[in-house]
Structures are given as C-alpha cells and as structure tokens.
Amino acid sequence: MKVEAGIDVELMLAEGVALLAEAAAESTRNAADKRILRTASEGLADTSRTAEERLAAGFSPEVAAVVERQPIRELVTVSEQYPLLVERDLAGRGAWYEFFPRSEGAVFDPTTGTWTSGNFTTAAKRLDAVADMGFDVIYLPPIHPIGFQHRKGRNNTLTPGPRIPARRGPSARKPAATMPSILNWDPSRISTLSWPAPMSWASRSRWIWPCRPPRTTPG
C-alpha cells in the first residue's frame, strides 16, 4: 500500500534485503534455495529498479515456495502446547427424537386384551420415517428396570405384581429381569439396514443409549 501511495519505502525494502540475506545464509538450506533467496535480496536492494519491481522480487512465487518449505528462522516462534478439542458439527446442533423401542411395533391382542411389546428389530423399521421428519439424533430412554423398591405396576399403579421386571440388587441373585421381548433382535440384521440418517450413530451396528438429551438434566 505504501508503494501504491508513493510513500518512501527505502527503510521497508532495506529490512527485506537484510531478512532475505540472513535466510540465505542459514546452513540448513540447500544450495538452490539459498540462490533464490540471495537473488531476491539483491532485487530488493537494486535501486535502478522501480519500487514496484523491487518489491516484486521479494514476493516472487519462487521465494514463497522456499519460505513455505522452510520458514525463515528469525520469524519462527514456538508457543506453549494447547489441548485441542475437535467435535463433529452435529455435536453443536441437531434435532433429537426420543425413541421408545417397546412402543414401536407393539401389537395388541383383542382376544386376550394384552399387548406384545416391540423390540429393537421392530423399532429399526421406524428409523427411516424418523429421518424423513428431519431428526438427526435418536436417543433412547432406559430399557432396564429399576430396583425392587419404588417400582410401579400396570397403568402406573403403586402395587407392582410379581411379573413386573426389576434389576439385579443386593437381594437378587438372578440377572436383571429386562423384558425378554425387548432383547429379541438380531444385531447382524440391524447392522445391515440402510439408514439415510440419522448421522448420529457411531456406527450402523450400535445404538445410542443416553437417557436424555444434553442440558435437560435439572440442577
């Protein structure tokens, strides 16, 4: 800008001459690179040229390539090491859809008045429709039951019967009584389904298991 404005640039050019000359003298550079830097330094110092021509000598593509391969030592600084956290773009935004596997694909038997819960296999059939609605992330509520205390029975009653599942506890020696139907699924089949979205799956053979989306926990 100084050259275009017609301002005296001799001091600026002199600094360029000294800088490129010092760079050309660095012992770690090869002969070809040293020659390019010396030629540029001499061009900057040539008062028989116009200011534009002298400046162009220091900013030639050849000089830029040399400096890019090996920066000028005097201009290199070393800072402290800082940790770098890289997140996917979706980690900063996204539409979340709460998904209940037991509800997706559930079947009601009018003769017995009972329901057969859905499972992961039946729930997977719903994924394309959820993606078509514009959701990016599917999150699942806990499918495992709570302990023996404070359980609820059918229709939210406070008197759970013996068939109400409960997780393993101090007084229970059997594995968690998770409803067998919810686990009635074939992982190999799920992993080969074609899902245009959501993009949030770590892989197509795994489900995401958060109980609730971020920043919704009270407190």
Q: Range of 56's domain?
A: 2-75
Do 126 and 187 sit in the same domain of this protein?
A: yes
- For the entire predicted model, the pTM comes to 0.39
In a domain, 113, yes or no: yes
Highest mean pLDDT (candidates 3-17, 35-49, 107-121, 170-184): 35-49
In a domain, 207, yes or no: no
Do 94 and 71 sit in the same domain of this protein?
A: no
Q: Tell me what pLDDT residue 36 has.
A: 94
Task: For residues 130 and 172, give the distance between their C-alpha atoms in angstroms, rounded to a whole number.
Answer: 39
Task: For residues 143 and 102, give the distance between their C-alpha atoms in angstroms, rounded to a whole number.
Answer: 8
Residues 37-89 pLDDT 10s: 999 999 999 999 888 899 899 899 999 999 999 998 888 888 899 998 888 77
Do 56 and 99 sit in the same domain of this protein?
A: no
In a domain, 205, yes or no: no
In a domain, 151, yes or no: no
Do 183 and 108 sit in the same domain of this protein?
A: yes
Do 50 and 130 sit in the same domain of this protein?
A: no
Do 43 and 105 sit in the same domain of this protein?
A: no
Do 70 and 95 sit in the same domain of this protein?
A: no
Residues 137-193 pLDDT 10s: 777 776 655 666 777 777 878 887 776 666 555 544 444 444 454 444 454 444 334
In a domain, 199, yes or no: no
Q: Phi and psi (nearest 5°) for 182?
A: -70, -25
In a domain, 168, yes or no: no
Cis before 170 (ω within 30) = no
CATH number at residue 42: 1.20.58.80
Residue 44 in contact with residue 53, Cβ under 8 Å?
no
In a domain, 211, yes or no: no
In a domain, 183, yes or no: yes
> Does the pLDDT at position 115 exceed 80?
yes
- Number of structural domains found in the chain: 2
Cis before 210 (ω within 30) = no
